[in-house]
Amino acid sequence: MSGMAGAGAEAEAEAEVKLLGFWSSPFVHRVIWALKLKGISYEYIEVERYNKSDLLLRSNPVYKKVPVLIHQGNPISESLIILQYIDETWPHNPLLPPDNHHRALARFWIHFGENSIACITDLFLRPCKEEQERASAKKKAEESIRVMEEQCLGDKKFFGGNNITMVDIVYGCLSHWLEGLEEIVGMKLIEPNKFPRLHMWIQNFKQVPVIKENLPDYGKLLLHLQSRTQEYVT
Amino acid sequence: MVEEAKVVLLGSGFSMFGMRAKIALAEKGIKYEYMEEDLANKSPLLQEMNPIHKKIPVLIHHGRPICESLIIVEYIDMVWPNNSPLLPSDPYHKAQARFWADFVDLKVYHASRRVWISKGDEQEVAKKDFLESLKQLEEFLGDKPYFGGDTFGFVDVALIPFYCWFYSYETFGNFKVEAECPKLISWAKRCMQRESVSETLADEKEVYEGILDYKDKFMLN
């Protein structure tokens, strides 16, 4: 084992960590960003959305979804759980605050973000049929965004402060992906004059090198999101 | 005025989420002050401590609030790590515990609510979903005495409060959990032998009466 060539050791390290993903998934990208921020080598395995591989079905029999992280043969599912696993297994460049209170607070905002993101996504991908219901859903989404802007982000550059943390990673799909949906559906949710701080956060987030270098191609994403918006209608 | 070092728990009635926090505190032997909230008339303290959701449970420690039941249980486990650890120490088993605790919230809770709220076909679907989710948990439990293995752990805390609601689901839905998930009922009875659980869980008949009152009040009958 000792004296192993650098390339061999790196290949072995990479084989130890596998990520099952789908190229357009924002949840998969959360995991990619965390792995990259920590400098962890991994093997990426693309899974087909409508033809799920045996490996995926074996690794995540409960939900049958990506992302799944496989580390030393052990599968971990659900992006938020994977993020915490990565942070605990590779503690350098921590993604959560060290003290218990702020960690609990970060978890609260992650949980809040996850629920809000689901509502926001539904607004675009599963719109209500009735005009009144749609208006009510939009209002609810805007209220969540207001809370994000005022209570979570406040005057900070990132949700984590001066640098991105797990909270920013979780909210990451409000950039790029939400922007894509807004363009396709023709409905702007995070308007710069309504939510200036969150709008700024989106610009800053996309400029972080690890994020900038690890986003799906925007044009390709638009086409994919276009077909997603039509799925529900048919 | 809440003293700095004091531990305060805001809870309400038969909430299984509030029970999770109580069980965790009891397992750790932590003294705390419990304050019962009237959710129809929320206290200024609750509104101050959980301004976003105004929901219970809220744990107040060093004057600062922690919200969301599973976040509270993890917080309790981290702050008082020496007594009765609830989460495993290795990251993989910790991840598994978090996964199944989340599963209880995502699948068991929502299906169970539909069982007592809905009727007819909708209720039949809810029953099927509820029992399916319990069967998946039973499969994960396997032959272990607890979800935590040999010791009572995070997933046990997450799920056991639902046990005092089973009678209500069974009565409204006309089924028996034990017929479909006998191992789960054995697990629940084992948990009930722990003082932290037996002292915390509400009386199942009182829960049922409480739901009947709620349904009357909101004309869900």
What pLDDT, on a 0 to 100 scale, did the predictor assign at position A13?
61
- Average pLDDT score over chain A: 92
Q: What is the mean pLDDT of residues A199-224?
A: 97
Does the structure show a pLDDT above 80 at A229? yes
Reported as a pLDDT band with limits 50, 70 and 90, residue B112 is very high
Q: Verify whether the Cβ–Cβ distance A81 to B75 is below 8 Å.
A: no
For A2-67, where are the E strands, in sequence order?
A: 17-21, 43-46
Integer-rounded Cα radius of gyration of chain A: 19
Q: For residue A1, is pLDDT > 50?
A: no
pLDDT at B156 over 60: yes
pLDDT in tens, A56-81: 999 999 999 999 999 999 999 999 99
CA gap A171, A169 in Å, rounded = 6
Of B75, B95, B136, the CB nearest to A85: B95
Among A161, A28, A158, A37, smallest CA distance to A98 is for A161
Q: Is A89 on the interface with B (CB under 8 A)?
A: yes
Query: What pLDDT score was predicted for residue B102?
Result: 98
Residue % of chain A over a pLDDT of 90 = 85
Mean pLDDT of B184-195: 98
Measuring CA to CA, which residue among A118, A127, A229, A76 is closest to residue B106? A118
Summarised one tens digit per residue, pLDDT across range B4-32 is: 569 999 999 899 999 999 999 999 999 99
Neighbour-count burial of A132, counting CB atoms closer than 10 A to its CB (0-12 exposed, 13-18 middle, 19+ buried): exposed
Q: Test A76 with B79 for CB contact under 8 angstroms.
A: no
| Interface with chain A: mutation pick from B52, B55, B76, highest number of A CBs within 10 Å | B52
Verify whether the Cβ–Cβ distance A107 to B68 is below 8 Å: yes
Under a CB-based contact definition with an 8 Å cutoff, are residues B30 and B6 in contact? no
Among chain B residues, the shortest Cα distance to A91 is held by B91
The 3-state DSSP class for residue A51 equals coil
Query: Would the CB atoms of B79 and A100 count as touching at under 8 Å?
Result: yes
- Both tokens of A6, joined, read 């650098």
Q: How far apart are CA B161 and CA B167, in angstroms?
A: 12
Q: What is the pLDDT of residues B77-107, one digit of tens each?
A: 999 999 899 999 999 999 999 999 999 999 9
Say if CB A22 and CB A46 are below 8 A apart. yes
Q: Average pLDDT of B72-79?
A: 98
Instruction: pLDDT band for A4, please (50, 70, 90 cuts).
Output: very low
% of chain B surpassing 90 pLDDT: 92
Decide if B66 and A101 are in contact by the 8 Å CB cutoff. Answer: yes
Predicted local distance difference test score (pLDDT) of residue B218: 83
- Complex ipTM, two decimals? 0.94
> Which candidate, A176, A169, A161, A177, places its Cα nearest to that of A210?
A169
Residue A3: the pLDDT is 45
The per-residue pLDDT for range A174-198, each reduced to its tens digit, is 999 999 999 999 999 999 999 999 9
B→A interface, C-beta within 8 Å = 51-52, 61-62, 64, 66-68, 71-72, 74-75, 78-79, 91-92, 94-96, 98-99, 102-103, 136
Phi, psi angle pair for A71, to nearest 5°: -125, 120
Which pLDDT value is given to residue A6?
57
pLDDT at A50 (0 to 100): 80
Q: Identify the pLDDT of residue A11.
A: 61
Name the E strands within chain B. Answer: 7-11, 33-36, 58-61, 64-67
Chain B residues touching residue A111 (CB < 8 angstroms): 68, 71
- What is the per-residue pLDDT across A5-55, written as a single tens digit (0 to 9) for each? 556 666 666 569 999 999 999 999 999 999 999 999 999 999 988 888 999
pLDDT at A8: 66
Query: Chain A 195-214, CB below 8 Å of chain B: which residues?
Result: none
pLDDT of residue A52: 85
Look at A62 and B136 and tell me if their CB atoms are within 8 Å.
yes
Residue B1 has pLDDT above 70, yes or no: no
| Distance set, CA A184 to CA A24, A129, B74, B175 (Å) | 16, 18, 41, 47
pLDDT bin (cut points 50, 70, 90) of residue B2 is: very low
> How large is the average pLDDT for residues A221-234?
86
Percent of the residues in chain B that have a pLDDT greater than 70, as a whole number: 97
